[in-house]
Amino acid sequence: MSAKRTNADGRCDAPLLEGEALQVGVYELDFAVGDYFRTLGVAQTQPSFLDVVTLRFGVSDASQHYHVPLVVTPWSYSTYRGS
């Protein structure tokens, strides 16, 4: 397991996995959204309604590009396979 921080745009500066490191299988990304909103000074309940959002997704073809965005507010989130 490794930890990465997103840039000011909310994106990673480089792919998390690429080449032979990306294999067919099931992956999980954990987003520390509670910490993120706290650093922005967003008022939250205690405990936060959302703290860590885990996205579990499958890679069925390792030759494809997988962009896994998280659209998040302090109270909701959605995701999709981006391009």
Q: Domain for residue 55, yes or no?
A: yes
Average pLDDT over residues 58-65: 95
Q: Domain for residue 65, yes or no?
A: yes
pTM beyond 0.85: the answer is yes
Could you report the per-residue pLDDT of 41-57, keeping only the tens digit for each? 999 999 999 999 999 99
Q: Domain for residue 48, yes or no?
A: yes
Q: Domain for residue 21, yes or no?
A: no
Distances (CA, A) of 15 to 6, 43, 44: 11, 32, 31
Q: How many domains does the chain have?
A: 1
Could you report the per-residue pLDDT of 67-78, keeping only the tens digit for each? 999 999 999 999
36: domain CATH number is 2.60.40.180
Rounded Cα–Cα distance for residues 25 and 17 (Å):
13
